[in-house]
Structure 1
């Protein structure tokens, strides 16, 4: 079991209180009526499933019932940050890889997973720097 920080409640709660809802930051087409069937189907059904850093939409189902975003490493299941809807992530696969290169840290998984990195950009689930 692990704990997740809710950015609205400000508390660390057990994972059973939360439910993942899929990929975050999916832009709805501006004019759905002008979309082809293929474009609309891509929007509705196709999602990224990367190995490494991934931004996900979660809901605090048992607490405040608000939706929020999580940056999670899908390889290690580590939650790197949580942030409110409408905010942008501070941790991305690109920023993590570039920080590791500047720190001279060896990168595994094609830049997706840090190996022994002491990266100041990585935050724990409370938002505190690790």
Structure 2
């Protein structure tokens, strides 16, 4: 079982968390002006790299707060965890 380090509760088992998608995806400034194709791109098209990716996670069975994490998609290892109001850490 993998431990995920919640910024508020500390390390907890992965079953307590829910994945929330790619982090740092900006909501459109004028959603009403988007075409169907632009909406589809916003909703469905996300980065899918092999390596580090910033993601949103929710501690569903704990404090129920959202946080961001940089996770290696190849190894599933969490490289950094940070609160939504903090900048994304630089991963070397």
* Residue 65 of structure 1: aligned partner: 64
> Whose helix fraction is larger, Structure 1's or Structure 2's?
1
* Residue 35 of structure 2: aligned partner: 36
TM-score, scaled relative to structure 1: 0.67
- How do residues 89-100 of structure 1 correspond to structure 2 at under 5 angstroms? 89-92=88-91, 96=92
Count of paired positions: 92
Q: For 1:86 and 1:48, how far apart are their aligned partners in 2?
A: 22
- How do residues 1-130 of structure 1 correspond to structure 2 at under 5 angstroms? 1-9=1-9, 11-92=10-91, 96=92
- Higher RCO (CA < 8 A, seq sep 6+): 2
8 Å CA contact 1:19–1:60 kept in 2: the answer is yes
> Whose strand fraction is larger, Structure 1's or Structure 2's?
2
Deviation for aligned residue 1:91:
2.7
Deviation for aligned residue 1:26:
0.7
Cα RMSD (Å) of the superposition? 1.1
Deviation for aligned residue 1:87:
2.0
TM-score, scaled relative to structure 2: 0.92
Q: Write out the 4+ residue segments of structure 1 that deviate beyond 3 Å after TM superposition.
A: none
Query: Tell me, which stretches of 5 or more residues in structure 2 are unaligned?
Result: none
Q: Report the 3-state secondary structure (helix = DSSP H, G, I; strand = E; otherwise coil) of the residue aligned with 1:42.
A: helix
